[in-house]
Structure 1
Amino acid sequence: MKPISATPSPDIGRLSIEQLAANPNVSDQDKIGEVSRQFESYLLRQYLGEARKPITHSKFNPEGETNHMYQDMITSNLADSLSKAGSFGLGNALKEQLIRQNLAIPDETTPAASRKTKS
């Protein structure tokens, strides 16, 4: 559970990675969560960009520079929306792993190597 603070949390989705890293008002868990979400968004953007290539090329669809920019904007916004919704879960899985590594929280899903077995 996140402690309640007197200062309002900034909208971390609008901060650049550099601003996010340097912001003392954002917890490490929130920073990790936002970076994980942005990474998921980047991967989705790459995937969606490749997926739309065969769809957008036709004799009825002009291939001008403005059309290319418009399609890239649509792809970027769709990828951001999907990552913010958490539909794929990749960002959440990455966040959990990074939080465990960064905050030294033991992973309960794997057997601990330090457990002693009875002989």
Structure 2
Amino acid sequence: MTTVAFLSVAPVTEDSMASEVAKAVAALDDFDVAYETTPMGTTIEADDAATVFAAAQAAHDAVDGDRVSTFLKVDDKRTAVTTAESKVDRVEEELGHEARSNRD
């Protein structure tokens, strides 16, 4: 996979956004993408940017509301194959430990 993106889609509301965010994430299942949802958004991997854009559009359209906020950041690496996992692995190599901490 050569395109890695970060997507955040949410209705502008003071109520819980979970059900609408779930609709956005479910929309990704209709596309040939791998994804992982985090508390702040969803990392998407695809073979090309066009697939990412189409999936992001579907996620945006899946959310109900008078106002929907969508953020999409795309890394379209055209000369090499990469994955989100390999990007994190490289950072962890530099750190010498996992790129996370426990607040406990």
TM-score relative to the length of structure 2: 0.28
Q: Point out the structure with max Rg over C-alpha.
A: 1
The structure with more strand, counted as a fraction of residues: 2
TM-score relative to the length of structure 1: 0.25
Higher relative contact order (CA 8 A, sep 6+): 2
